[in-house]
């Protein structure tokens, strides 16, 4: 019976150590996620246009192709990439969606 208590105590100790390891891993992952999110935060409007244009280039999509995909003229796309405040928000959303960029609000 004493052996069973020792075995149980060893198992509980091992489980406690595993749980602590999991907690550390979760905390580390949360910190990494926060850093990634912080890198993606847009603090001024023109930065959104730059990020969308960067994404367009990463996808190797020229303006003419993006114009066909979105129905947004090339001149409007250029204005959007320079300063999104110059175009309607719906247009920004349409272009972002076509480029696979998700706009989200974090509070």
Instruction: Give ∠ CA 100-103-73 in degrees, rounded to 5.
Output: 60
Residue-wise pLDDT tens digits, 58-101: 999 999 999 999 999 999 999 999 999 999 999 999 999 999 99
What are the domain boundaries of the chain? 1-41, 45-98
Q: List CB contacts of 61: < 8 A, sequence separation 6 or more.
A: 69, 99
Domain 45-98 has CATH 1.20.120: no
Residue-wise pLDDT tens digits, 30-66: 877 766 666 667 778 889 999 999 999 999 999 999 9
């Amino acid at each position: 019976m004493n052996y069973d208590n020792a075995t149980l105590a060893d198992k509980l100790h091992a489980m406690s150590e595993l749980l602590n390891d999991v907690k550390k891993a979760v905390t580390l992952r949360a910190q990494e996620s926060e850093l990634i999110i912080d890198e993606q935060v847009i603090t001024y409007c023109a930065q959104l246009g730059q990020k969308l244009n960067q994404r367009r280039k990463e996808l190797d999509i020229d303006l003419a192709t993006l114009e066909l995909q979105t129905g947004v003229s090339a001149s409007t796309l250029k204005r959007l990439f320079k300063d999104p405040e110059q175009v309607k928000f719906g247009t920004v959303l349409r272009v972002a969606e076509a480029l696979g960029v998700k706009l989200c609000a974090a509070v």
